[in-house]
Amino acid sequence: MRSNRLPEIPENIQSAPDLPPLREVIARHGISARRGLGQHFLLDLNLTARIAAASGDLGGCTAIEIGPGPGGLTRALLASAAKSVVAVERDQRCIDALLELAKAYPGRLHVEHGDALDIDEIALCRAKGGGPYKIVANLPFNIATVLLVKWLKRIRDFRSLTLTLQKEVAGRLCARPRTKEYGRLSVMTQWLCEVRSMFDIPPQAFTPPPKVTSTVVHLKPLVQPAAKATWDDLERVTKAAFGQRRKMLRTSLKSLGVDTTILIASAGVSPTARAEELDVAAFCALARAYSKTRP
């Protein structure tokens, strides 16, 4: 679902007057973007404020930011009503810049040097002021999908995820059945979350400009998953089905190692259907049937 209106910037979001320009911070710390880290810095403070606003009311929440770089979005989060911001950054050059920012907001910015793929965000935040938790981040392109799957597996720990992703990836999260973008990530995400595409950010807004447009998406955990299933069973079924998405289910699901005739009949779906034709509820039905027939 796409929102046709950009989120308004709350009146309480404004840059602290004594902060140096981001370009000055980058130059002083020698922070040139590194391709290996998937770095593209967003320096437009109007855009970072809109991303923070897209996360909704941050009042009383701990905002978790992954890959803050020199701190553009971090400034907007600190200027919001968030009770604290926990920033996880792998690049030591950026750590030094972020620690300077932390001095301007005593006790509100907690900087963690580490790899987001390895860190337990919730355990880290419990030691830094507690929840509730919202992730707000311009994700490094090279690990965005892996991080998203990591968070989906524990989605109940978060109030929301507001993420800047490649437009192609964002499109997959929002994709509907019978479209070419619809796939495993669409099913797993929509099973657990309400997904909204908020607004696009053009390449030239970043330093250096990536080759693709980015999109800000907002994921809000559903009160209950869209249908009954377990993560492992649903993941296996969608992997098999979309692994051969052009084939009918009676063929693509053979890799599950079960009698596909019984499996498909138990789920109440058509054996001649293809993966892209099934909605989330149908995949969950397959996952439940698989749980009863798997070895």
- Could you read off the pLDDT of 280-293 as tens digits, one per residue? 999 999 999 999 98
Nearest to 97 by CA among 126, 119, 125, 68: 68
Tokens at 230, concatenated: 């377990």
Mention every residue, 6+ apart, whose C-beta is less than 8 A from residue 11: none
Residues 116-155: tens digit of each pLDDT: 999 999 998 888 768 899 999 999 888 999 999 999 999 9
Tens digits of residue pLDDT in 228-253: 999 999 999 999 999 999 999 999 99
pLDDT of residue 15: 45
* Mean pLDDT (the chain, rounded): 91
Copy the structure tokens of residue 118: 């390895």
What is the DSSP secondary-structure string of 195-222?
Answer: EEEEEEE-GGGEES--SS-EEEEEEEE-
The SS3 assignment for 179 reads: coil
> Among candidates 256, 252, 250, which has minimal Cα distance to 242?
252
Residue type, 44: D
pLDDT at residue 12 in the model? 44
Residue 13 confidence (pLDDT): 43
pLDDT band at 41 (very low <50, low <70, confident <90, very high): confident
Could you identify the residue written with the tokens 């980058």?
Answer: 26
> The tokens 């965005």 sit on which residue?
144
Neighbours of 92 (CB within 10 A): 9
Interval 185-208 mean pLDDT = 96
CA distance linking residue 48 with residue 71, whole number of Å: 10
Strand partners, 85: 63, 109
**Rounded average pLDDT over 7-18:** 49
Residue ranges of alpha helices (H) inside the chain are 22-29, 45-54, 72-78, 92-104, 121-126, 144-152, 167-174, 184-192, 231-243, 249-252, 260-267, 280-293
d(CA 45, CA 51): 10
pLDDT bin (cut points 50, 70, 90) of residue 2 is low
Task: Specify the pLDDT at position 269.
Answer: 96
Residue type, 37: L
Residue 276 has a pLDDT of 96
The number of CA neighbours under 13 Å toward the Cβ of 217 is 26
- Residue 39 confidence class, pLDDT cut points 50, 70, 90: confident
* Closest C-alpha to 153, from 194, 192, 116: 192
- Provide the pLDDT for residue 183: 97
CA–CA dist 262, 267 (Å, integer): 9
SS3 content of the chain, % helix, strand, coil (to 5): 45, 20, 40
What pLDDT, on a 0 to 100 scale, did the predictor assign at position 16?
A: 56
